[in-house]
Structure formats: C-alpha cells, structure tokens
Structure 1
Amino acid sequence: MEMISLINENRDNPHELERIYRKEPEAFKASLPNAREQHPDSQVLAVWYERLHFKETVHQEKASLLSKDFLSMGVLAILAGIVTRVMLHFVEKQFIAPMNLAFGILPLMAAYFVYKNPPKKGVLYILGALFLVSGVYLNLLPLEHTDSIILAYMHLPIFLWTLAGLAFTGNDYRKGSTRLAYLKFNGEFGILYAIMAISGMLLTALTMQLFRFVGLDIAEFYMKNVVAFGAAALSIVAVYLVSRNLKLAKNIAPYIAKIFSPLVLVTLLAYLITVMWVGKNPFLDRDFLLAFNGILLSVLAVTIFSITESGADENKSLSDYINVALIVLALLIDSVALSAIVFRLSSYGITPNRLAVLGINLLIWAHLLWIMISYGRFLRNQTGPSAVQAAITKYLPVYGIWAAMVTFVFPLLF
C-alpha cells in the first residue's frame, strides 16, 4: 500500500517516478496496476504501464513463433546431418565427388531462408532449378583430377553461396540493404559457428578420451557418424540462432572487425617487406604466385567484413583509414599478381588454371578500385558510408556469375 500511495502522490512527476522505479523496480511494477485503477485518467501512469507490460506481450508473441521456427530448424538440421552422412559414405566409396557434401548444407540453409522470408514463385522456381541443375551437372562430371574439373569443384561452393544469398534476400534481391544484410549474416554466422565448433571439438576430445579409459577406440566411428552429422546440423542451428538476432554474434562481430583489420594490415606490411628482402619473384615462382592470390582473397574478405560491420556511421574513424590502407595494399598485390599471370600466359600458354586466376584477379582488381574510389569520396565528405557499402553489394553477383562460368563452362572448354 505504501508503494501505491507513493506512485499516486508523484503521478504528475515523471522524474520522481523514475527514481522510485529504479530504487524498487519489482515493487513498483506490482503496485502500478492498482495505482492506475485509482487514477485512470493519468497519462503518465498509462505510459508507465505500457512501458513495463509491453515486453510481456512481445515475449508471448515471440514464444509462439519460436516453436514453429525451432521445429523447422530441427527438421532441417537433422536432414542436413543425414544427407551429409549418406553422401560421405558414397564419397568414401568413390562413387561421387567430395564436393557433393556442399549439397548437404547450402540447399538446406537456403530452404530455411525461404521459410523465414517466402519469395515469389518465380524466385522459388529459379532457386530450385539452379540447385537441381548444379547437383546433376556436378555428378555428370568424370571423377578425374584434371585442372578444369578441380576448378569446377573449387568454384561450385561460391555459386551455391550466391544461390543461398538469393534465398536470403528473397524478393528484395536487387536492394543493396538486403545484400548488405546477407554479408553481415555471413560474418555473424562464421563467428557463431566457430564458437560452437570449438565447443564441439572439446566435447569430441573428451568423449573419445573417456572411451579410451575403458579400452575402446571409437575415433573412426565417432568422426564418421557423430562429427560429420553434427558439423552439418550445426550449420542450420547457427543459421537459426543468427536469424533470431542472437546478441552474442551481433555484439562481437564489430569488435572482431576492428581488432583484425589493423592486425592484418601490420602482418601484411611485414610480409611484403620480408618478401622484397628475400627476393621472392611471383613471375617465376608458381607456388609463390598462388600464395600471393591467397593473401589477396584474405585481405578482400577482411576488408569487406570490416566495412559491412562499420554500420552507417557518418563520422570517420581510424578503422576507415585502416580499411583504405588495406584496399591500397590489396590493389598493389593484385596488380603484381595480374602482371605475373599475364607474363606466364604469354610465356607458357593458356591453361584452365591461368585463365581462372586471371579472371578472378581482374574481377577483384575492378572491385577494389570501385571500393577505393567510393571510400575516397566518403573521406572527402562527398558521399556517406552507404556509397562504400553499395560498391560492395552491387558487385556481389559478378562473383556468382564468374563462379558459374568456371563451374559449368570450363570443364566443357578444356
């Protein structure tokens, strides 16, 4: 009764009500309905009532949705695990290519996206047809380790990742904001999956050690049946958790981007200085050229991750200048790599590998140049950060198209 009287006495004093609430929130919340009944015309008490009880309504609505989403996630996760385990059996028997394992995960991730954000029938039919054609085409390729087929295996997951992006964006696939959301999703998904995978590895080590104590070695059985199943199922679980706006991944992703960007910049500078010191030559050393391209892809991934996690803040920060430095370094690396590839093509002739590497380096070079120009305009206050993000998102389909060409055309040409 004392709390009710206190609320009524200060019903027209919002500052004092806030102080009372912070001092005894539970008692305040319990007494507020009675106080409001005595003064039903008080707008201040009405606002307080909505503030304290609105979350309960939202929670109940979410709970009903959670059961449907959780059930769908569970079914798809189990299906992903079963499909992956069955495919692994046929891979071990050398009946199908190992790259078929991608079809145990990416199409089911796309299915969850479609469930969460149902697209028009046209988009749905295109998705289904492209996944089906990709699976059939992959298994029509001979099980040979020729350059063109290996390239197809390497580029197929990129193409399937693009299809998953189409499922994620749904009817808004042309909007830069939804493409940016897909990139952010990938960053948060990777972080969350890594955390859960580390926990799974610890559980695996503990389980196998416990069985060793009783004289049983279950390593082979456990890896084939439990780990393979769990790794595939875990991807769907991670998709579900990220789509539920799990705060862990969303809160940690920007910090990881801010920490890794300067570390990558310093490491890259040290590496390039060392390369020049020891006299490595990408024009003559094929393995070093491949390593150079690996560095380029890593820098591109880190830069995109950092930019997408920076948000829409108009204020410039140290991270922006670090990103520009990374882009400039990546452009220098790509220019050297392109020169080396052209040199090898003119000296040793055309091969599928050289042509594929030339194509992806040209695409990355053009993309990096576009991002750098956009970033320069942003730093000169000519545009906002959205222009930089647009330079990233608008170019994404180009990678998917190139991956499709290498996957479907190269094996036919070579």
Structure 2
Amino acid sequence: MSIPGQAVSLEQQIAQWRSYLGRRQAIHAVDLVELEDHLREQIAALGAAGLADDEAFLVAVKRMGDLDALSREFAREHSERLWKQLVVPRSESGGSAIPWLDAMVAFGLAVAAAVLVKLPALFGLRLDTDADVYARNASLFVLPLLTGYFAWKRRLSPAIVRWLPLGFVAALLLANAYPFAKGGDTGILAALHLPIALWLVVGIAYAGGRWSQVAGRMDFVRFSGELFIYYTLIGFGGAVLMAFTAMVFAAIGIEVEPFFQSWLLPCGAAGAVLVASWLVEAKQSVIENMAPVLTQLFTPLFAAALIAFLGAWLWTGRGVDIERNVLIGFDLLLVVVVCLLLYSISARDRHAAPGFFDVMRIVLVVSALLADAVALSAIAARISEFGFSPNRVAALGENVILLVNLAGSAVLYLRFLRGRALFSDLERWQTNYLPVYAGWGALVAVVFPPAFGYL
C-alpha cells in the first residue's frame, strides 16, 4: 500500500487493486483481465467527465464493488481514503477539489439563464399576463445553455456540435411562430412535450460521443436522476430562504413577495438547473449511495398503492373518471413508475443474483400494466363517446408508449428471473427506448397544434 501523503500514479493504483484481488482469492487470469478492462473503461469515462486520475480510480473501484465481491471489499477497506478524496477539499492538501473553471462556467451560465428568463420583458411580455408564452419557452431558457456546458466540458467534436443547436432553433420557431390560442390545449401540450424532446439533445451532449453505447445512455439516466435529487434539494432550500427573508422584511413593514414572484423565483428556478448539474458533475459518486436507497424505498410503496387502487376498482366496480386532471395524474403516476424502474436498473449490479427487490420491481411493473390498461379502456370509451381532443389523443398515445415499455420490461425481467435472459438485455431495452419518448414529445409539440387548429 502507498505511504500516506505520497502521490501514487494511476498505473500503481491499478496494480495495487490487481494485486489485492490476486492475493485474496485465486481468480482466473481471463476473469482478472476482464475486470481490469472494465475498471479502465470506468476510469476513462470518469476522466472524460472531468475527474482527476486518483478521483476517477477511487470512484471506479467503488462502482466495481457492485460487480465483484473482492472489489467491494477493497473499496470498503479504502473507504476512509475514498471519502476524503471525494468530500474533503483538495485545497487542504495543496490543490483544488473542484476545478474553478468548471464552477465559473456553470455559475456564469446560471446567470445567463436568469437573464434569458427576463428577456421576454423587453418585448412587453409579463410573467403574470403571458404565462402561456413563458411556459412554451421555459425549456429554451435553460436547456441550450446546459447542452453548451456539456459540449464544452466533454470537448465534443465540431461534427457533433454543429448539429446540436438545430433542435433548439426549431423549438424556438415552433414555440413562437404557431398561432396558439391563449390558454388552449395544444399550447399547454407543446409546453409540456418540448422539454421531453429537447432533453434528448442534452443527453447526446452529456454522453460525449457515447450516446450510441448502452453505458453512455445509462450514465445519462443516472445523471437525470441525480439532477432531480439535487434540484429538489436546492428548491427546498430556496423555499426556506424565501420564507425567512419575507418574514424578516415583514418585520420592518416591507413586502418582498412581488420581487420573489417576478424575479427571484423564475430566475432562481432557471439558474438552479445549471448549478445542480454542476454539482452532480463535481460530486458524481457521492449521491449514488442515496438514489438507489430511494428507489428501493419507493418501489414497494408505489406497488402497494397501485395494488390498492386495482383492488378498490374491482371491489367497487366503479368506472374511472377520465377528466383532464385525472389523465395528467395517471400519466404522471406511470411516468414515476417507469422512472423508478429505469433508475433502479441503472443502480443495480447486473451480475448479482435475483433477489427480493427484483420481485418487487416485477410486482410494480405488472400492477402498473394493469392500471395502464384500466386507464386506456377509460380513455378509449371517452373518445368513442365525445370524440377526439388534443388531451385525449395525447393521453392515449402516452399510455400506449408507456404500456409497450412496461410490457417489454416485464417480459425481459421475468426471463431474467428465470435465468433465460441477461440483465443487460433489460438495460438495453430501456436505454434504446429513450428516443421513443423524445420522438413522441416532438410529435405532440409539432403536429398536434395544426392538427387541432391551434386550440
């Protein structure tokens, strides 16, 4: 082992890891080479994400611990060193824990996002009276900047970079050139589905040339889940900050709520996306211990809720009231189920034997399939009775897309549990399905408005 405080090269660290595995248990040379190749792939990917060699090695060893028991033991024995490397600022040992350039770029882009949020005001638009315009352009205030951040950070080739802005230019024209009726359904659908389509562009930039690989797309899934966690935490902290600020200013007779509504809340919500993304990049592996725990906690809870709903539906024999809010609620529920499944897959050890939580995921998927079938039958009945509308057709398409995803996942998961398929087959199915969501989002945003008369 290395002497504390002494610099150790990456090759020396890999040699220590290889020697450790060789001493503790007889491992076939081919298996050891395969494990080392996987370790080096992880290190290369983390290095491309901006981590230093020693940080990339320690994070990769931790991830390898999910694949191999001895690597897990190695990571556990080096846990104190791992924690210090990831959490304690390097300035204490003569360096910088987080590259200042990354931080400056991220915070500069956050300020730019805040400025873009207020840009429509120069054209006489107000957030309170022109909320529909702001909603349709909301993703364009943030996602182009986030895409640019990853294009810069990943050093994407010019061949990729020149295509990325086209999606945002097309979205900008669509969001503002279509003659949407004020408060119309197609405008709302466009505002909801444009970010889904554009998130694929962010993913291509984030993957840094690895989008065609399952591992690259799965890394983007992990990033999306971790970004949601960080953004939520920042949002809660911001809410507490605003509450206390309003309280202390109220004590001297000054109302700051108008400032919060017009400036702090919209600008902060936009800028926080860039800040949260930077935090995920800066502390890539720290949150990985939290997210799998959350998926394991909520998987049985959501499964129980769906089973209770199906049981109550069968017991009472009542039909499902498919109004707009109910449609949105059903779709959000199924989206949450798919996200739970997708993120739990991304965090699971693909080589581990099936266990309790695999069974719970199957229960969750099957119960979601049944609930989706109930919703689809109600939507079809509604369409046959009242005809087509933008909301009903959008809900129908989204439920069909989710149904296909869940059905394919259920089949592959059952085959995995029975030993007739690899877990990587399920990973490939889920990551290959991601463009389907983006394609549907683009279809709804582009085709639905003229098809339904922009109403």
Q: Scaled by the length of structure 1, what TM-score is found? A: 0.81
Deviations 1:363-403 (A, max 9, x none): 11111111111111211122332211111100100111111
Alignment of 1:142-161 (within 5 A): 142-144=179-181, 145-161=183-199
Alignment of 1:334-373 (within 5 A): 334-373=372-411
Where in structure 2 are there 5+ consecutive unaligned residues? 8-15, 20-53, 55-77
Among 135, 138, 143, the alignment partner of 1:101 is 138
- What is the SS of the residue equivalent to 2:425? helix
Alignment of 1:390-405 (within 5 A): 390-405=428-443
Q: Is the 8 A contact 1:189 1:242 kept in 2?
A: yes
Is the counterpart of residue 250 in structure 1 residue 283 in structure 2?
A: no
- What is the SS of the residue equivalent to 1:400? helix
Residue 76 of structure 1 deviates from its aligned partner by 0.7
Cα distance in 1 for partners of 2:237, 2:325 equals 35
Cα distance in 2 for partners of 1:221, 1:108 equals 25
Q: Which residue of structure 2 lines up, in the alignment, with residue 114 of structure 1?
A: 151
Residue 69 of structure 1 deviates from its aligned partner by 0.9
Cα distance in 1 for partners of 2:191, 2:98 equals 39
Q: Which residue of structure 1 lines up, in the alignment, with residue 167 of structure 2?
A: 130
Q: Which amino acid aligns with 2:111?
A: I
Q: Is the 8 A contact 1:148 1:352 kept in 2?
A: yes
Q: Which amino acid aligns with 1:105?
A: V
Cα distance in 2 for partners of 1:140, 1:79 equals 24
Q: Which residue of structure 1 lines up, in the alignment, with residue 75 of structure 2?
A: none
Residue 195 of structure 1 deviates from its aligned partner by 1.4
| 76-85 or 115-124: bigger deviation | 115-124
Q: Which residue of structure 1 lines up, in the alignment, with residue 42 of structure 2?
A: none
Change in 2 beyond 3 A, CA 1:64/1:246? closer
Cα distance in 2 for partners of 1:231, 1:324 equals 36
Residue 64 of structure 1 deviates from its aligned partner by 8.7
Number of aligned residues: 371
Residue 87 of structure 1 deviates from its aligned partner by 4.0
Is the counterpart of residue 214 in structure 1 residue 249 in structure 2?
A: no
Cα distance in 2 for partners of 1:68, 1:61 equals 17
- What is the SS of the residue equivalent to 1:214? coil
Deviations 1:54-94 (A, max 9, x none): x79x9589739702211211211111122123347834253
Cα distance in 2 for partners of 1:87, 1:311 equals 47
Q: Which residue of structure 2 lines up, in the alignment, with residue 90 of structure 1?
A: 125
Deviations 1:161-202 (A, max 9, x none): 122112212322211111111111111111111112211111
**Would you tell me which structure has more helix in proportion to its own residues?**
1
Residue 300 of structure 1 deviates from its aligned partner by 2.0
Residue 241 of structure 1 deviates from its aligned partner by 1.0
Is the counterpart of residue 389 in structure 1 residue 427 in structure 2?
A: yes
Cα distance in 2 for partners of 1:294, 1:199 equals 25
Deviations 1:215-265 (A, max 9, x none): 111111133222322222221111011112344422211111111111111
Where in structure 1 are there 5+ consecutive unaligned residues? 1-13, 19-27, 34-43
Q: Is the 8 A contact 1:106 1:160 kept in 2?
A: yes
Residue 361 of structure 1 deviates from its aligned partner by 1.6
Residue 303 of structure 1 deviates from its aligned partner by 2.1
Please identify the structure whose Cα radius of gyration is greater: 1
| 320-329 or 338-347: bigger deviation | 338-347
Is the counterpart of residue 76 in structure 1 residue 114 in structure 2?
A: no
Change in 2 beyond 3 A, CA 1:393/1:185? same
Cα distance in 2 for partners of 1:335, 1:203 equals 44
| 87-96 or 192-201: bigger deviation | 87-96
| 315-324 or 77-86: bigger deviation | 77-86
Change in 2 beyond 3 A, CA 1:91/1:99? farther
CA-atom RMSD in angstroms: 3.1
Alignment of 1:264-275 (within 5 A): 264-275=302-313
Q: Scaled by the length of structure 2, what TM-score is found? A: 0.74
Alignment of 1:200-239 (within 5 A): 200-239=238-277
Is the counterpart of residue 376 in structure 1 residue 404 in structure 2?
A: no
Q: Which amino acid aligns with 1:136?
A: L
Cα distance in 2 for partners of 1:372, 1:283 equals 27
- What is the SS of the residue equivalent to 2:163? helix
Cα distance in 1 for partners of 2:436, 2:345 equals 19
Cα distance in 1 for partners of 2:192, 2:114 equals 22
